Amino acid sequence: MREAYIVTSVRTPGCKMGKGAFKDTRPEDLLTFILNTAIEKTPNLSKKDVDDIMVGCCFPEAEQGLNIGRIVGQMAGFPVEVPGATINRFCSSGLEAICQAALRVMAGWAEITIGGGVESMSMVPMGGNMPRPHPEYTRTHPELYIAMGVTAENVAKKYEIPRQAQDEFAFHSHMKAAEARRKNLFTELIPTPAVRYVLSDNDTYKKETFIQDFDDGIREETSLDALAKLKSAFSVKGTVTAGNSSQTTDGAAASVIVSETKVKELDLKPIAKLKSYALVGCRPEEMGVGPKYAIPKLLKLAGLGISDIGVFEINEAFASQALYCVKALDIDIKKVNIHGGAIALGHPLGCTGAKLCSTLLANMIQTGSKYGIESMCIGGGMGAAALFELCE
């Protein structure tokens, strides 16, 4: 197989659902902006050269429905000949889109593809607008549709992840993110136009555009005490709280994937190669353990060991599951989510896989790590993991 090179990988800020900067910004607009930015940041690339746009989305309906992959290609000014698709694998949708896009290049079926992700949790609620689980199947297997918070409790209970450890993990996520923001280390983050409705001089509301240039969920002022005071959010006597869970967030991200031929032809400087991608299923009621199985499967495919990996981006759906996976795989915690994770930066569902890719690549460059792994757990009981290799 051919190699697939990621030449550009960018993201919007992650902003809090319902009250954050993107609450009134349509997901198509976030995605349009980030696609155009990816193109602009890739020298010598013109839109007509793109073979396909694949967009991950967790709940592809309403504002982000109607095949947003195709819609946004057109909104962003790609010629009609450039197709687009929406990819869904719940929380790994963004990564899935990048990997499928890359695979097309690797197979020789395409030269240049874009993989990305988008989610406006403000506009489309988790679970979608109209969930309709199967009436008979749920009688015997309701856990296939289990609430994510309950799975986090299950993991905490079964694998004995105490409240204090979860809160500490959450605290560090905020502190790392706050420091990274202070030091401008989020080099993959692109200041993004956002919309708000303001009362204008003539007493009617008007749309106003402003630029959002930071992740607005980071709580620099939080403390272990403050986190310890929160009530359990998903269970009567639970340990999982709003503070040690990921934030619900809006955002978009995109990566440009190019074949070796085109890298040379367009004189591009690739960041990294996508080496391999592994998926695995697990029990739905403890879906958070997914990375624990996906990462070893990935390493086996690549013939590498845990110690070969310089940096990890493991999605912090919940502190309980993220911490459990890190411990169970004996990963050096200093290599994990070095600039904070979803507890501080947010988990915009279908965007997350694409967003973490851009963050991981930026962190690989900063740390000079040859190998980096991105991994996450997935609702319904799955784990995904992808291996990237830094280009010299």
Partner 1 sequence: MVRKIRKTAVIGAGVMGGGIAAHLASAGIKTLLLDIVPLDLDEKKKNDHGERNKLVSSGFEAVLKSRPPLLMDRNDAELITLGNLEDDFEKLAECDWIVEVVIERLGVKQDLFRRIEKVRKSDAIISTNTSGLTLRDLSGGLSKEFKQYFLGTHFFNPVRYMRLLEIISGEETLPEVIEFVCDFGERILGKGIVLAKDTPNFIGNRIGVQQIIMAMQLMHEKGLSVSEVDSLFGPVLGRPKTALFKTCDLVGLDTLAHVATNTYELVKNDEQKDTFKLPVFINKMIEKKLLGNKTGAGFYRSEWIEGQRVSKVIDLNNFKYQKVRETQFECLTKAGNADTLPEKIKAVVYGKDKGARFAWRVVATSLIYAASRIPEIADSIVEIDNAMKWGYNFQLGPFETWDAIGVEKSVNKMEQEGFSVPDKVHKMLQDGSRSFYKTENGKILFYDFDTNNYKEQKVSESIISIAALKAMDKTVKTCKSASLVDLGDNVFCCEFHTKMNAINKEIVDFLEESLDFTDKNGAGLVIGNQTAISPGAFSAGGDLRLMGDMARQKNFDDIEQFIKNAQGVMQKSRYAAFPVVAAPYGLTLGGGCEICLGAADKMVAHAELYMGLVEIGVGLLPAGGGCLNLWKKFIRHVPEPVQGLDFAKFFAPVFRNIAMAKVSSSAVHARSLGFLGPEDRIVFNIDYLIGEAKKEVLRMVDAGYSPPVKRALKVFGDAAQGVIHMELNNMLAAGYISEYDEFLAKRIGYVISGGEMRVDGEIDEEIILKLEREAFVDFWKEPKTQARVEHMLKTGKPLRN
Two tokens at 108? 């020789």
CB of residue 238 to partner 1, shortest distance in Å: 7
- How far is CA 147 from each of CA 14, 78, 271, 379, 381, rounded to the nearest angstrom? 23, 39, 37, 9, 12
Question: Can residue 198 be called a binding residue for partner 1 (CB under 8 A)?
Answer: no
Task: Outline where the chain has alpha helix (H).
Answer: 27-40, 68-75, 93-106, 137-140, 148-158, 163-182, 224-229, 260-266, 290-302, 319-328, 342-345, 352-367
Q: 335, 103 in Cβ contact below 8 A?
A: no
CB of residue 75 to partner 1, shortest distance in Å: 27
Of the pair 160, 267, the CB lying nearest partner 1 is at 160
Of the pair 278, 317, the CB lying nearest partner 1 is at 317
CB of residue 145 to partner 1, shortest distance in Å: 4
CB of residue 143 to partner 1, shortest distance in Å: 6
Of the pair 62, 266, the CB lying nearest partner 1 is at 62
Of the pair 134, 269, the CB lying nearest partner 1 is at 134
Q: 385, 280 in Cβ contact below 8 A?
A: no
Active centre residues (catalytic): 91, 347, 377
Question: Can residue 237 be called a binding residue for partner 1 (CB under 8 A)?
Answer: yes
CA–CA separation, 361 and 372 (whole Å): 8
Beta bridge partners of residue 11, listed in sequence order: 189, 253
Looking only at residues 120 through 159 of this chain, which bind partner 1 when binding is defined by CB under 8 A?
Answer: 129-139, 142-143, 145-147, 149-150, 153-154
CB of residue 123 to partner 1, shortest distance in Å: 16
Q: 266, 258 in Cβ contact below 8 A?
A: yes
Two tokens at 228? 């310890």
Question: Can residue 285 be called a binding residue for partner 1 (CB under 8 A)?
Answer: yes
Which stretch in 228-236, 263-271, 347-355, 371-379 sits in contact with partner 1 by CB under 8 A?
Answer: 228-236
Question: Can residue 192 be called a binding residue for partner 1 (CB under 8 A)?
Answer: no
Burial class (CB in 10 A: 0-12, 13-18, 19+), 240: buried
Among 236, 267, 334, 392, interactor with partner 1 by CB under 8 A: 236
Of the pair 145, 214, the CB lying nearest partner 1 is at 145
Residues that bind partner 1 (CB under 8 A): 129-139, 142-143, 145-147, 149-150, 153-154, 234-238, 285
